[in-house]
Amino acid sequence: MLTGFPPVADEQTCILILGSFPGEASLAAQQYYAHPRNQFWRLLSAILQDDLASLPYEQRLLRLLGHRIGLWDVIAACEREGSLDTAIRRAQSNEFAMLKHQCPRLEKVCFNGKTSGRFEPVFAAAGFRTLVLPSSSPANAQLSFEEKLALWKNIIL
């Protein structure tokens, strides 16, 4: 059984971006979005006009929190061969009930791709604004970076 990462969020977090589950490169590096072709850090760098992608990982996280944006995944643990979401088996979801206590200013939950987007109704029913985004994964090559960026800019609106 593979285990995901703890949330990157604090009491100032207003926006939370939820992925599905860390890929092999991320698990090996113990870093969110560590695959070099994943566009997550590049997208956020462009949106926030802050070159997060060039920073060491720990500084990226601190800077992201400074923008009041947090990170987590919908899946806490699972079995999976490779990095594709379609290969996820025996998934156990994270405990989201603690979010309202840990992040009292949380207003908006964004979902990085379709797999995490399946949880959108749960967060909408809890009163959060929600946004399902195209995946930043290199496996999602249907949209160009510019097309993804146009949609991802809605994170901060």
Long-range contacts of 61-68 (CB under 8 A, 24+ apart): 61/8, 61/32, 64/8, 65/8, 65/9, 65/10, 65/12, 65/13, 68/12, 68/13, 68/14, 68/15, 68/105
- pLDDT 10s digits, 132-147: 999 999 788 899 999 9
Torsion of CA 82, 95, 62, 42, to 10 degrees: 40
- Residue 84 confidence (pLDDT) above 80: no
Write down the pLDDT at residue 17.
99
Write down the pLDDT at residue 67.
98
* CATH code of the domain made up of 2-156: 3.40.470.10
Instruction: Decide if 140 is catalytic.
Output: no
- Residue 69 confidence (pLDDT) above 80: yes
Chain mean position to CA 108: 13
Q: Rounded to an integer, what distance in angstroms lies between the CA atom of residue 138 and that of residue 132?
A: 17
Query: Where do the structural domains in the chain lie, given as residue ranges?
Result: 2-156
Write down the pLDDT at residue 88.
86
